[in-house]
Structure 1
Amino acid sequence: MGQMEGEPHFGQEAEERWHEISRRNARSVQTTVGWIFWDPGAVARYETLGLDSTVAGPLGYIASRGAPLAPAGAQAVIAAFGTISAAGIRLTFDLLTRPEAFRDFRDARDEAVEEGLRRHAPQIVAPLCETGPALWEVVDRLPLLGRPLFGATLAMPRPRSPLLAGWHAVNLLREWRGDTHWALVAAAGLTAPEASVLHNEWLRYDDDWLSRSRGHSADEIAEGWESLTRKGLAADGRVLPAGLRLRQRIEDLTDERTALPWRLLGEPAARAFATRFEPPCTLLLTRVDETAGVRYQPASRVRSRYEDGQA
């Protein structure tokens, strides 16, 4: 992404500083939002709305997050959700049948968010309430081009609750980063199965765990491995260094090209975001460990960059 009109020019050292701020704050953004995906309070509400207990968690996540795009249909949500199972998204649409039903799941999730934040990470309440207005000013200035889920989510009604409004502002930062990331994945010529396989190996997870956790079938996973092998990015059931370098490059570019919100917020406030949000996010990540497992939400976890020769 090129320099925006009116945006100050930064030298190389300053650019690297902003990229690090972007990388660091992305973890707290992900954690502030992502813990709700597996929260029992949210899942119980999804069951009340009619989803069977065996699928309420993943399909409730699809319904609540996909609500802004639901009027455009399943294909639009599949396109926006990256590596999330297309079959799961289609099943969600088959079960809910009308876009208005997705709004009910979004409202149920928001109730669970406000209740859960106060219960599980009360230290995050003040930062969200106090930082929310400045974050809304930022998200209103972010470019929409190529970011459909962000744009659709931005158009949704804004909550009156200061806590929930702050959470939604953080969620918009997450969706803007997510849209940017998937654009980079697409530009690299990767399919959803390929991207999942690369991500799993880059995380050093085994047994195609990430692909399976996102609902990919055995056939889809096999397709991902086969196509990566044809491209020279994998061989004999292992991702080659070229594949890992590609995945690291996508991650680096994501950090670089999502520094804009933090620049707009300003460096003092961007650094204050880190110091204020990281401690309560530790509690929320512990909540993920308890409700889902320690491999879930890898974007919230500190990890080293891939370098050639690493195990």
Structure 2
Amino acid sequence: MTTSFDQWHGRRTTDSGWRETSRRNARSVQTTIGWIFWDPGAVARYGALGLPGPLGYIASRGAPLAPAGAEALTAAFGSISSVGIALTFDLLKGDAAAFRDFWQARDEAVSEGLRRYAPGIVDPLVETGPALWSAVDRLPRLGRVLFGATVSMPRPRDPLLSGWHAVNAIREWRGDTHWALLAAAGLTSSEASIVHNGWLGYEDGWLSRSRGQTETEIDEGWDGLTRKGLAAERRLLPEALLLRQRLEDATDELTVLPWQLLGSGFSVGFAERLEPACELLLARVDETAGPNYQPASRVRERYRGSEESAGN
């Protein structure tokens, strides 16, 4: 007998206070890391190494999994264009050492950029880094492949970069958890992007194209959602948006562990110390990429729809 996502989700019993802590700190975790994806300092370094910015992002973030190949990285990245990932591997000839050059280039850009654009984050990252690593080392690896590969990388000696990488590890742990939930819900990469785009309220196709998905992949995503009863005539049905909200809620529930390990006082202090600097980093994203980018850093109301009828 199979268990539906709704039945499984209904059995979750995580305390709501920890869920809120997980949700709140996820914004700072995402923002502390995500601004670098479009940072001109990082993009210039990637160009000097032979790749344009989007492919440089793939190489820098994917360096821990590069030895496993393009298919493994496509599976781990979830919604990032498989075409872009394959091209990155082709241009770097699958050389894991070349991927690590991009990892190092990103580190250089992170160190430079944080001090320049959000200096208020430096001391909090330096001071919380050791405790964050202690929590990271106790997080379960099972099913979290990108996280596992990421924490196997050498840890920086520089205290600022060390703290940043500890936050990055928590981010990848949450990301792996989120993609496991989407896979369990039966969504493909292109379907997930379409549903996420609708949940965000973005114009049709924006998120999919921003992640490099082709028009063919987008069409396949709509076809799949229609077969699953989540879309009709290339419009999402309320059930799709409610499913996406439930997946987000489940992600918050299943990623409370780092904060529980760190304790309530630490977790609240982490939020209060990082949020002001993260607002500056988010403004940097607005400037370098645009206000639609990095949606996980942006506050939005929960989608409620007709939860009572949809849940029955």
TM-score (norm 1): 0.93
Counterpart amino acid of residue 85 in structure 2: I
Q: Out of 134, 137, 148, which is 2:134 matched to?
A: 137
Counterpart amino acid of residue 145 in structure 1: L
Q: Does 1:177 align with 2:174?
A: yes
How many matched pairs? 295
Q: Out of 75, 78, 103, which is 1:79 matched to?
A: 75
What is the match of residue 48 of structure 1? Answer: 48
Secondary structure (helix, strand or coil) at the match of 2:138 reads coil
Measured in 1, the distance between the counterparts of 2:176 and 2:146 equals 7
Q: Out of 297, 302, 310, which is 1:300 matched to?
A: 297
Shift of 1:309: 5.7
8 Å contact kept, 2:198–2:204: no
What is the match of residue 222 of structure 2? Answer: 225
Shift of 1:128: 0.2
What is the match of residue 3 of structure 1? Answer: none
8 Å contact kept, 2:66–2:99: yes
Give the alignment of 1:123-272 within 5 angstroms: 123-272=120-269
Secondary structure (helix, strand or coil) at the match of 2:15 reads helix
Measured in 2, the distance between the counterparts of 1:84 and 1:290 equals 22
Note the alpha carbon deviations across 1:267-286, whole angstroms, 9 max, x for none.
00001010000000000000
Counterpart amino acid of residue 211 in structure 1: S
Measured in 2, the distance between the counterparts of 1:309 and 1:246 equals 12
What is the match of residue 65 of structure 1? Answer: 61
Shift of 1:226: 1.0
Note the alpha carbon deviations across 1:219-242, whole angstroms, 9 max, x for none.
110110111011110012211011
Q: Does 1:35 align with 2:32?
A: no
- Which blocks of at least 5 consecutive residues in structure 2 are unaligned? 1-11, 308-312
What is the match of residue 96 of structure 1? Answer: 92
Measured in 2, the distance between the counterparts of 1:143 and 1:121 equals 31
Shift of 1:207: 2.1
Note the alpha carbon deviations across 1:233-264, whole angstroms, 9 max, x for none.
00122110111111111100000000000000
Secondary structure (helix, strand or coil) at the match of 1:182 reads helix
Counterpart amino acid of residue 69 in structure 1: L
What is the match of residue 107 of structure 1? Answer: 104
Shift of 1:50: 1.4
Counterpart amino acid of residue 260 in structure 1: L
Q: Out of 281, 285, 290, which is 2:282 matched to?
A: 285
Note the alpha carbon deviations across 1:47-99, whole angstroms, 9 max, x for none.
11112xxxx11100000000000001001100000000000000000000111
Q: Segments of 4+ in structure 1 off by > 3 A? A: none
What is the match of residue 5 of structure 1? Answer: none
What is the match of residue 310 of structure 2? Answer: none
Note the alpha carbon deviations across 1:161-198, whole angstroms, 9 max, x for none.
00000000000000000000000010001100100000
Measured in 2, the distance between the counterparts of 1:190 and 1:227 equals 9
What is the match of residue 16 of structure 1? Answer: 16
Measured in 2, the distance between the counterparts of 1:236 and 1:78 equals 29
Identical residues among aligned pairs (%): 71
Secondary structure (helix, strand or coil) at the match of 1:146 reads coil
TM-score (norm 2): 0.93
Measured in 2, the distance between the counterparts of 1:309 and 1:120 equals 43
Counterpart amino acid of residue 84 in structure 2: G
- Which blocks of at least 5 consecutive residues in structure 1 are unaligned? 1-10
Measured in 2, the distance between the counterparts of 1:21 and 1:151 equals 24
